[in-house]
Structure 1
Amino acid sequence: MNASFVRLRDRRTLPKSGGDSGAQVTASDELSVEHAEIVLPTIGRASATGYLAVWNGKRSQANLVSVESPAFESVTIYKMEQDGGIARKRRVEGILPIPGNAELLMRPGGVHLLLTQPKETLSSGDAVELTLVFDSGKRIAATATLLAVGTSVTDHHHGDGDVTL
């Protein structure tokens, strides 16, 4: 398992993202998606990059198989891996496991989505639908916000209780 993308949570109530340590959100006993964002491609490129967080509040592992979007021809899951000191982007083949009571964090330099060939003109601020598909047959709908090139994605962090695998 790659330490760059799965973090365990040791509590059921987590500090809210965004640095507001006083606010609380309660972890779900199911799968949930937060901070779905897609950075639009630069002019002349046909691929956008997507990021999101998937919380697995179940005790058992959830296996992400794919992500779909009606707004793009294809959506592929990639991850960055070190190979002889060089970072290389590799397509995730098969499943992407999310252990029970853990969170998959998609972010730059780690796991991310490559969304190719938009089916219509997309602009910053628009929203597109994503569907996460799991090997159990479960499908989770999420709405992703489109961000302009150069915009930072949400820094998703739940506090000091994180344990990196």
Structure 2
Amino acid sequence: MRLFGVFSTFFLSALMVLSTAPVANTREAEALVIERAEIIAGRDGQTDRAYVTIWNGGESPVSIIDVSIAGYEDVRVVTAAETTRVKVTDAVLTIPAKSELLMRPSTVYFEMRRTNPLTVNASVEIKIEFDNKRNMIIATSPKTQGTFTDHHHRREG
């Protein structure tokens, strides 16, 4: 009987650990928000660009490990200052805790090649994978050149 009591105490303790762990992860995941996503069409055969704003309100930094965009291939991270183009899987895009990643034409953005003809105002899904095992999808519509809108997280209160 004593063995059953030890086993049941161990089992209940393990169950409590398992049931509380996802709560913390869920809170962290809920703190990660894609606030904005835009796709701007390139001119005359140039590659298109995507800009996102992601708020990380969590207690830990998160990194983007992959990005896929419906209707596009060869998504790369471009840093405007260095004019480097790197595959997303080879880039380091870390969003510190309580901070945001704000992509702009003058800083950093995604560049990609269309696999289908451009349909302005059609819905396109952008899937972003993070190192915390979270995947997020946001829909946006491709826009013509020169229509970039600036947006970033503003603290309230």
The correspondence for 1:107, drawn from 104, 107, 126, is 104
CA distance in 2, matches of 1:52, 1:72: 16
The correspondence for 1:119, drawn from 95, 115, 120, is 115
Name the structure with the higher strand share.
1
Residues 1-165 of structure 1 aligned to structure 2 (within 5 Å) = 29-45=30-46, 47-81=47-81, 88-92=82-86, 93-116=90-113, 118-151=114-147, 153-159=148-154
CA distance in 2, matches of 1:70, 1:157: 24
Change over 3 Å in CA distance of 1:158–1:95 after alignment to 2 = closer
Unaligned runs of 5+ in 1: 1-27, 82-87
Runs of at least 4 residues off by over 4 Å: none
Higher relative contact order (CA 8 A, sep 6+): 1
CA distance in 2, matches of 1:76, 1:44: 17
Give the number of the structure whose alpha-carbon radius of gyration is greater.
Answer: 2
CA distance in 2, matches of 1:69, 1:58: 25
Deviation at 1:63, TM superposition (A): 0.8
Deviation at 1:128, TM superposition (A): 0.6
Contact between 2:49 and 2:109, CA under 8 Å: does it hold in 1? yes
CA distance in 1, matches of 2:116, 2:31: 33
The one-letter code matched in structure 1 to 2:39 is I
Partner of residue 5, structure 2: none
User: TM-score of the superposition, structure 1-length normalised?
Assistant: 0.68
Name the structure with the higher helix share.
2
Partner of residue 7, structure 2: none
CA distance in 1, matches of 2:74, 2:35: 21
**CA RMSD, Structure 1 to Structure 2 (Å):** 1.9
Other structure's SS at 2:63 match:
strand
Deviation at 1:29, TM superposition (A): 4.3
CA distance in 1, matches of 2:91, 2:150: 27
